[in-house]
Amino acid sequence: MNKPDPLARDLVKCEDMRLNAERARRHLGSRTLSAFLSDALVQDAVIRCVEVIGEAARQVSGSSRQRAPAVPWTLIIGMRNILVHDYGEVDLEQVYRVAREHLPNLLSQLGDLIAELERDTGWQGEKDE
């Protein structure tokens, strides 16, 4: 059995991060902090997306992380650890701030990293027929 290309694996994990950041932003929509705090369903959805972002970030190799030093890898993984392991201590206002203020920057940073990984892995994408 062939071992997968580490860069291709990193590309998949970065795509997972991007997709879940976009999903978290859609779940949050234009809700205010007050509306977010009063909607447990949206809280759960956004928290789950942030957990997945952190887990995917944890699995990105050090060499690929070094390609995007502006991405706060340690903070992203730390947030995931708090959400998963210290779920009784989750600061919902912080979750809201992450989704509202930090995910747009992350999406931009990931776009650049994903483009670089696509180039270096020779990924062509799906062709329209």
CATH number at residue 102: 1.20.120
Instruction: Tell how far CA 41 is from the center of its chain.
Output: 20
The verdict on pTM exceeding 0.85 is yes
58: amino acid identity, one letter: R
pLDDT score for 126 = 62
Tell me the C-alpha distance between 92 and 15, whole Å.
Answer: 25
Range of the domain at 46: 6-120
Neighbours of 78 (CB within 10 A): 13
For the chain, 129 residues long, give each residue's pLDDT as a single digit of tens.
Answer: 566 799 999 999 999 999 999 999 999 999 999 999 999 999 999 999 999 999 999 999 999 999 999 999 999 999 999 999 987 889 999 999 999 999 999 999 999 999 999 999 998 776 544
Q: Catalytic residue numbers?
A: 80, 85
Tell me the C-alpha distance between 14 and 116, whole Å.
Answer: 11
pLDDT score for 89 = 84
- The CA angle 76-90-110, to the nearest 5 degrees, is 20
Number of structural domains (the chain) is 1
Indicate the helix (H) or strand (E) that contains 42: helix 40-59
